[in-house]
């Protein structure tokens, strides 16, 4: 174990969106074990996380989609020189477990699946926004608007599928790993992929910036690559 950069052993406080919740819990264990840096991450809806950091809550580290981090940096609530990309997340298509297979192998097939679905689940986060943009590009957004079901902040789209509230769902892979009641059909096909880059930064409100930087360096290090892949994410 390397010498601790947080000698009083008070846990750092981090906040993230739900897509990286399981990964950050795993990395927090590794950081504590291998670096002597203790951290507690709170994972909530991404919009709520960004709002709370922008309101100056006492967080040391924030992990969100890259564009959300960039907005926090621009507004002075995160430190620009601490910004590090951590993982890349792909959005997949899923149905309830036991439902018939649906062809989503091409853009045209996916478009037809969307039109045929009786209820389409999407998130409040960046992947959900990208899904709406895709429907708009296809020219079907208004046609399916009444069938759209947005998961509440912090609730995975997979839960909508498992509870029968959606028959087709779009969600980042990491939020479906190990979730019961869901069948993943595959990644979005060529031409309509939805890829989100998650980034970490030190919060301007942090009073333990050295420890926060050391934590981010660990989370971005090659030794965490396997943990990222286990959670359905790719190292950035």
pLDDT given at position 45: 87
Q: Which residues of the chain have pLDDT under 70?
A: 1-8
pLDDT in tens, 117-130: 999 999 988 889 99
Beta strands 195-202 and 120-122 are unpaired
pLDDT in tens, 141-163: 999 999 999 999 878 899 999 99
Per DSSP, the residues of the chain read: -PPPS-TT-PPEEEEEEGGGHHHHHHHHHHHHHHH---EEEEEE-HHHHHHHHHTT-S-SEEEEEHHHHHHHHHTTSB-GGG-EEEEEEEEEEEEETTSPP---SSHHHHHHHHHH-S-EEE-SSHHHHHHHHHHHHHT-HHHHGGGEEEPPTT--HHHHHHTTS-SEEEEEGGGTTT-TTEEEEEEPPTTS--EEEEEEEEBTT-S-HHHHHHHHHHHTSGGGHHHHHHTT-EE-
The Cα 218–Cα 203 span in angstroms is: 17
pLDDT given at position 209: 97
pLDDT given at position 190: 92
The Cα 14–Cα 170 span in angstroms is: 27
pLDDT given at position 7: 52
pLDDT given at position 1: 40
Question: pLDDT exceeding 70 applies to what percent of the chain?
Answer: 96
pLDDT given at position 149: 97
pLDDT given at position 28: 97
pLDDT given at position 8: 60
């Amino acid at each position: 174990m390397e010498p601790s950069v947080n000698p009083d052993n008070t846990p750092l406080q981090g906040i993230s969106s739900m897509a990286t919740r399981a990964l950050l819990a795993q990395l927090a264990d590794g950081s504590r074990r291998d670096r002597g840096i203790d951290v507690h991450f709170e994972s909530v809806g991404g919009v709520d996380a960004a709002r709370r950091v922008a309101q100056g809550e006492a967080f040391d580290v924030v992990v969100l989609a890259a564009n959300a981090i960039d907005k926090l940096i621009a507004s002075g609530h995160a430190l620009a020189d601490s910004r590090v990309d951590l993982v890349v997340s792909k959005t997949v298509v899923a149905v309830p477990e036991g439902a018939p297979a649906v062809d989503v192998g091409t853009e045209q097939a996916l478009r037809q699946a969307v039109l045929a679905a009786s209820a389409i689940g999407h998130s409040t986060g960046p992947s959900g926004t990208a899904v709406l943009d895709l429907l708009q590009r296809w020219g079907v957004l208004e046609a399916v608007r009444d069938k759209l079901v947005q998961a509440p902040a912090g609730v995975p789209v997979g839960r909508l599928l498992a509870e029968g509230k959606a028959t087709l769902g779009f969600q980042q892979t990491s939020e479906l790993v190990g979730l019961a009641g869901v069948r993943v059909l595959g990644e979005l096909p060529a031409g309509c992929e939805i890829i989100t880059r998650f980034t970490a930064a030190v919060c301007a409100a942090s009073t333990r910036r050295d420890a926060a930087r050391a934590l981010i360096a660990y989370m971005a290090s090659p030794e965490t690559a396997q943990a990222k892949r286990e959670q359905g994410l790719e190292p950035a």
